[in-house]
Amino acid sequence: MTKPKPKPEDLRKACVEEALAIIGESGLEHLSLREVARRLHVSHQAPYKHFRSRDHILAEVVSRAYADFADHLDRRPRSADPNEDMANMGKAYLEYAQHHPLHYRLMFETPLPNPAEHPEMMRRAEHAFSLLREAIARLPGRPPAAPVDLDALFVWSVMHGLAGILRGDALGGLGIPAPILESAVPFALWRIGMALGQGAGKQP
């Protein structure tokens, strides 16, 4: 089915959506403004009215992914208990990686356009990271000089590694018992709590 030609006032949005579709279907290496124009049935110069280059439309795609990711984290179930709220953020992170794999790959597993040339993309990335930093800073008993950024990078690395393992195919052939796999996420969150000085608690 041929896509209808977008109206001029809708062209920017249509270009971004088509760019994401191209990446999802054919890979990042096939993204170009000319290919976006071809698929939208507009002149090859039309996308240049909104995007100076391929990197500029890619930056907009990634920027929107960061905004969507941050919004997902913000919509997590809130808790007055900082430790529970931290765990809910970890679960939300893994949920996003599972349900939005293309967005996740673009944000965290793809070479980004030059950050210095795309400040809005980085502003949205920094906002997503700030949500983690704020959740860590709220944890009880933290010394005033505790390195929030280092702790945030530690938590992020654990969540990113776990997300990659859960999204991959390797687990299926390792013979790990189902109860162990089912406990992987709560166990990782429990270990993170221990590492951040929140006490051993009860092992899940």
pLDDT at 159 over 70: yes
User: Which structural domain, as residue segments, surrounds residue 82?
Assistant: 78-195
Those residues with Cβ within 8 angstroms of residue 19's Cβ, 6 or more apart along the chain or in another chain: 31, 36, 57, 58, 60, 61
Those residues with Cβ within 8 angstroms of residue 111's Cβ, 6 or more apart along the chain or in another chain: none
Whole-angstrom CA distances from 90 to 27, 123, 156, 161, 183 are: 28, 22, 9, 12, 14
The predicted-structure confidence for 17-54, as pLDDT tens digits, reads as follows 999 999 999 999 999 999 999 999 999 999 999 999 99
Please count the structural domains in the chain: 1
Q: Do residues 103 and 61 lie in contact, with contact meaning Cβ atoms separated by under 8 Å?
A: no
Residue 105 lies in a domain: yes
pTM of the model: 0.87
DSSP letter, residue 111: P
The pLDDT score that the predictor gives to residue 102 is: 95
The pLDDT score that the predictor gives to residue 161 is: 93
Mean pLDDT, the chain, whole residue set? 88
